[in-house]
Structure 1
Amino acid sequence: MKWVALSLILSMNVMAGEWPRELQAYRGTTPKIDGVISAGEWDDAVRFEGVKGWTPQFSPTTDADDLSLVGWVKFDAKRLYFAFRVKDDVLYGIDTSRWLSEKNPKAHELTREGWPWFGDEMELLINASNQWKGDENASGDGSSWQMVCNLTKSRLGGVGKGGLLEGEPRSDAKAWETYQRWIKTGAMQAAAKVLPEGKGYIIEWAVSFDPCLEIAPGKFFTPGDHEVKMGLNIAVGDLDEKENGAGNFGNFHHEDWFTGERGKRTNLKQWGTLRLMPGDKPVKSE
Structure 2
Amino acid sequence: MKFRVMIWLALSGVTLAGEWPRELQAYRGTTPKVDGVIEKGEWDDAAKLEGVEGWTPQFSPTTDQKDLSLTGWVKFDAKRLYFAFRVTDDVLYGIDTPRWLPEKNAKAHELTREGWPWFGDEMELLINATHTWKGDENAAGDGTSWQMVCNLTKSRVGGVGKGGLLEGEPRSDAKAWETYQRWIKTGAMEAVTKFLPGGKGYIIEWAVSFDPCLEILPGKFFTPGEKEVKMGMNIAVGDLDEKEKGAGNFGNFHHEDWFAGEKNKRTNLRQWGTLSLMPGKNPKTP
- In the superposition, the TM-score normalised over structure 1's length comes to 0.96
C-alpha displacement at 1:15, in angstroms?
3.9
Q: Flag structure 1 segments of 5+ consecutive residues without an equivalent.
A: none
In the other structure, the counterpart of 1:260 is 261
1:17 aligned partner:
18
Evaluate the alpha carbon distance shift between residue 5 and residue 91 of structure 1 in structure 2; reply closer, same or farther with a 3 A threshold: same
Is 2:124 aligned against 1:120? no
Report if the CA contact (8 A) 1:14-1:229 is conserved: no
Q: Give the distance between the partners of 1:243 and 1:64, measured in 2 at CA.
A: 20
Query: What residue is the counterpart of 2:80 in the other structure?
Result: 79
Q: In the TM superposition, what is the alpha-carbon distance from 1:196 to its structure 2 partner?
A: 1.6
Aligned to 1:214: 215
SS at match of 1:5: helix
Over residues 115-138 of structure 1, what are the superposed CA-to-partner deviations in whole Å (9 max), with x where a residue is unaligned? 000000000000001111100000
**Structure 1: how far apart are the matches of 2:89 and 2:239?**
8
Q: Percent identity?
A: 81
Deviations 1:236-285 (A, max 9, x none): 00000000000000000000000000000000000000000000000379
Aligned residues of 1:15 and 1:229 also touching (Cα < 8 A): no
Gaps of 5+ in 2: none
The amino acid that maps onto 2:151 is N
Match of residue 175 from structure 1? 176
What residue is the counterpart of 1:194 in the other structure? 195
1:5 CA displacement: 2.8
2:270 partner SS: helix
Match of 1:230 in 2: 231
Partner deviation per Cα, 1:139-166 (whole Å, 9 max, x = no partner): 0000000000000000000000000000
- Offset of 1:198 from its aligned partner? 1.1
TM-score after normalising by structure 2: 0.96
How many pairs were matched up? 284
Q: CA deviation at 1:16?
A: 3.5
Q: Distance in 1 between matches of 2:94 and 2:117?
A: 14
Residue 207 of structure 1: how far off its partner (Å): 0.1
Q: Cα offset for 1:9? A: 3.5
Map of 1:242 onto structure 2: 243
